[in-house]
Amino acid sequence: MSGASGGEATGGARWPGRGTRCGPARPAVTLTRSSAAAAATEQGRGCALFGKSYADCPMIFLCLSQVLEMFNHAYSNYMEHAYPADELMPLTCRGRVRGQEPSRGDVDDALGKFSLTLIDTLDTLVVLNKNKEFEEAVKKVIKDVNLDNDIVVSVFETNIRVLGGLLGGHSVAIMLKDKGEYMQWYSGELLHMAKELGYKLLPAFNTSSGLPYPRVNLKFGVRNPDARTGTETDTCTACAGTLILEFAALSRFTGASIFEEYARKALDFIWEKRQRSSNLVGVTINIHTGDWVRKDSGVGAGIDSYYEYLLKAYVLLGDDSFLERFNTHYDAIMRYISQPPLLLDVHIHKPMLNARTWMDSLLAFFPGLQVLKGDIRPAIETHEMLYQVIKKHNFLPEAFTTDFRVHWAQHPLRPEFAESTYFLYKATGDPYYLEVGKTLIENLNKYARVPCGFAAMKDVRTGSHEDRMDSFFLAEMFKYLYLLFADKEDMVFDIEDYIFTTEAHLLPLWLSTTNQTISKKNLTTEYTELDDSNFDWTCPNTQILFPNDPMYAQSIREPLKNVVDKSCPRGIARVEESLGTGPKPPLRARDFMASNPEHLEILKKMGVSLIHLKDGRVQLVQHAIQAASSLDAEDGLRFMQEMIELSSQQQKEQQLPPRAVQIVSHPFFGRVVLTAGPAQFGTDLSKHKAGTRGFVATIKPYNGCSEITNPEAVKEKIALMQRGQCMFAEKARNIQKAGAIGGIVIDDNEGSSSDTAPLFQMAGDGKNTDDITIPMLFLFNKEGNIILDAIREYEAVEVLLSDKAKDRDLEMENMEQKFSENYSHKQSSDESLRSQDPSLVSQQPAEDENSDTVHLDSLSVDADTDSVSISNQDSYILENHEASIQETECTTLNNQPQEQTEMETDSDSNVNWDDDDDKVQPMESILADWNEDIEAFEMMEKDEL
């Protein structure tokens, strides 16, 4: 989900119906290449010699050409191997058809057997000057696509991708027809299909609130005996609030007002149900009652495009009420959620209380929206933070913590960061953002490119792939990257005449004066009195804000340049803390020291009691009525939640990071990457960047629990063995004695996979393991069988054991080219099917009968006492953390060697918390006075993007 208006970002469009708050129509401001000619030299930051020809600016020309080549690679493979399926499966070179592949849950709700990727890509073809291909694609859509399928789809996804794609295609089709060269035969066929689809979505709005059901059957609607949907009670705020652009455009194009009326009613209802004291909305709402099911609020998953569509509805439709609502929400966002450079979720009823200590990748769109708003400084700050996370992990993880560690390791090739990069470049003219775009291009080619397209990352830490290329990758990523490097002469039309939907589809701004059948009654002021200063930043004149001075953006970025790797992020502190103003900041869990009397006094003030139990455990209990004030009580609950998050995070940090097994021989050539579990003994692959490379061999006996009887087959090779019957360290010693250079233990539980089972690290046998000098890795059964199948098929299979996947070298590329002449496409596809199934790592340890794996007990809740007790090992973690704080306030935010933490925990788990030798454990507390917040905490743990 992404998008902001190209017109607003550059200030060049004329928008009717904006009211008087924007003042008179401003002069067009176009940040051309010549306007920033003096900003830098080609040897400095990118090619900033914008007044020259492409020959003088090779970086821009090469990037533009590469974007086109990459798009061709992805699009042609979809058309060749997948069409008319909804999506391309790039690892196995085939189409993904709903019902014919294993279900991926809610992810598959976007698939409706309506050639999703082709429809989603229509207007991208025109943006990239592929007008002939566009004309052919439109003919295919008209001829082949069926919208009357008996299939249940997401109302939200179908709206933004399919309805938006059809409307975007229609918008550029009539533009090309007017120009007189292409589409002369076109008679609005895409618009007719869009209207048909719009009517198929309308049954979802059959609720008393006007909020739509989250899913609809394309053929039977909802609540029909054959519909298989209509029993849902909840929907996400973005799902119900991201309809107005497409539905209003459909009404304006066709004259049928019903679509815009339904979308407006849904927006009106959400606005009325906002939390009145904070002006925030929650993530999930009951579609019948309007009650907030999830009361946490942010700008990422579940809410993001609701805010986006309020502002863009004002731009497209010229209705001041949408602008007033957006500015009211934006003021709340900047007051509570924005903690520069971070954007952290809070509770709508207690907005000073952080709801979580991690962020999801969908919030990367927000800097682009801030450009549209005109609030450039925080946009630059958040964008720079996100860019540093990308430089650390190559891609933006699906979720990451406030100290920039991976929380969810997937990356489905989302385009939101590229979107914000484009708009920041248009707003500032700083060529730094061209370099950012160049980095995105390089990372996509280096880590995501596969023979049949681009594959989503299953784990950014190991480089493993997922057999997935979502339609938004073609619809948005290449559109934004092309626009970033393109000049006006590279376009066949003026992008500033259009607004981008959240899926980056193009809707013409002239719709604001067409078929205005909706009354513009201002509902906003019925609910709230607005401070007119909210509008100070609306419709900024970029020529005044940024007088062709790219150094402006650089001056804002400079303090943040080391925020990820070398310094503490200050974002978790409130704004007044960072400015050194306002009251003294509240006590944070990360700073707490039990031996500090002042800290204990603060706990007492917050209503938090320290209770020593007879068995040596310690409980923290909070009673709001015992706090000195309501604000102190709120700080107390925040402190308890931070303690929970801190303990949980440090438990995860105890696990050694996952390792990679990369098959580098023919026909894989490094493209197959399997996520493996590490060992607490043997070679530490994180300290040997080259890894261990060698051919694999199966040992005899296969369990490796006695002397190896085929040492001649194992010598100088990587030994494969079965899990079970003895300790892991014993297996390692036996294969090392036989001359193996490494070992891979394969799980003996049939069908086990890291997709479903948590990965763990192999422990030693309680003895000194310094004698083991080879690397050992663990693969679950499903991943291990990929290697065993490859041996049966190709005999000689070479792998690389490393901390993460390595680049394919030139030798591999040459071998691949040579072998490709000898192997048919079918063989290639079959081989991919057998081999490409990399695994996602879960960060929780699993029990193993063969190992002495160190476990951290889960937080145990005692509902009767409203308190939580934590294990002694957890106690040590907190104590270790506490001692480190005395050395440097940044300790908990830096990346410490994780294997060192593990060894310390194993060898010294009885550290005293205070002078009375009482052991203290990190703690969680269920408080009767705060039931709704505790419910939100529990629900967030189960939440998925």
Active site residue 442: no
Residues 439/391, Cβ–Cβ less than 8 Å: yes
Give the helix/strand (H/E) hosting 673.
Answer: strand 672-676
Torsions phi, psi for 133 (to 5 deg):
-65, -35
**Site of tokens 């083991």:** 772
d(CA 315, CA 561): 34
Distance CA 167, CA 501 (A): 10
Q: Could you count the other beta carbons within 10 Å of the beta carbon of residue 287? A: 25
How far is Cα 395 from Cα 477, in angstroms, rounded to an integer? 13
Rounded Cα–Cα distance for residues 212 and 232 (Å): 10
Could you give the count of Cα atoms lying within 13 Å of 254 in the half-sphere of its Cβ? 24
What pairs with residue 94 in β-bridges?
A: 89
Q: Which residues pair with 677 in a beta bridge?
A: 778
Dihedral sign for Cα 409, 102, 232, 85, please: positive
CA 170/CA 162 separation, integer angstroms: 12
Residue type, 448: A
Question: Beta-carbon neighbour count of residue 107 at 10 Å?
Answer: 15
**284 has binding-site annotation:** no
Residue 922 CA to residue 876 CA, distance in Å, equals 9
Give CA–CA dist 707/436, Å, rounded.
Answer: 55
Q: Which helix (H) or strand (E) holds 119?
A: helix 116-127
Of the candidates 108, 189, 384, 398, the residue annotated as catalytic is 398
Give the position of tokens 């394919």.
808
- 626 CB contacts (<8 Å, ≥6 apart)? 607, 609
Single-letter amino acid code for the residue at 201: L
Residue 337 DSSP label: I
What is the phi/psi pair of residue 674, to 5°? -110, 130
Is there a catalytic annotation at residue 416? yes
Name the catalytic one among 135, 157, 803, 879. 157
398 is catalytic: yes
Beta strand pairing call for 742-746 and 608-612: unpaired
Taking the CB of residue 508, how many other CB atoms lie within 10 A of it?
22
Residue type, 468: R
User: Is the CB of residue 673 less than 8 Å from the CB of residue 839?
Assistant: no
What's the CA gap between 842 and 521, in Å, rounded? 51
| b/e code 424-458 from CB counts within 10 Å (16+ = b) | bbbbbbbbbbbbbbbebbebbeebbbbbbbbbbbb
Question: 234: closest CA among 264, 213, 217, 216?
Answer: 213
Pull the structure tokens for residue 451: 């023979």
The number of beta carbons lying within 10 Å of the beta carbon of residue 907 is 7
Which residue in 87, 320, 416, 848 is the catalytic one? 416
Sole residue written with tokens 């201002």: 522
CB of 891 closer than 8 Å to CB of 650: no
Token pair listed for 437: 């775009």
Compute the chain's Rg from CA coordinates: 29
Which is the catalytic residue, given 123, 304, 430, 837? 304
Instruction: Round to whole Å and give the CA distance between 594 and 423.
Output: 48
Give the pairing type, strands 342-343 and 464-466: unpaired
In angstroms, the CA 371 to CA 540 distance is 9
Bridge partners of residue 292, in order along the sequence: 285
| List of residues 6+ apart from 795 with CB closer than 8 A | none
Q: Name beta bridge partners: 399.
A: 360, 408
Phi, psi for residue 154 in degrees, rounded to 5: -75, 130
Longest dimension (CA), the chain: 87
Binding residues: 502
Residues annotated as catalytic are 157, 304, 398, 416
Binding residues for Ca(2+): 502
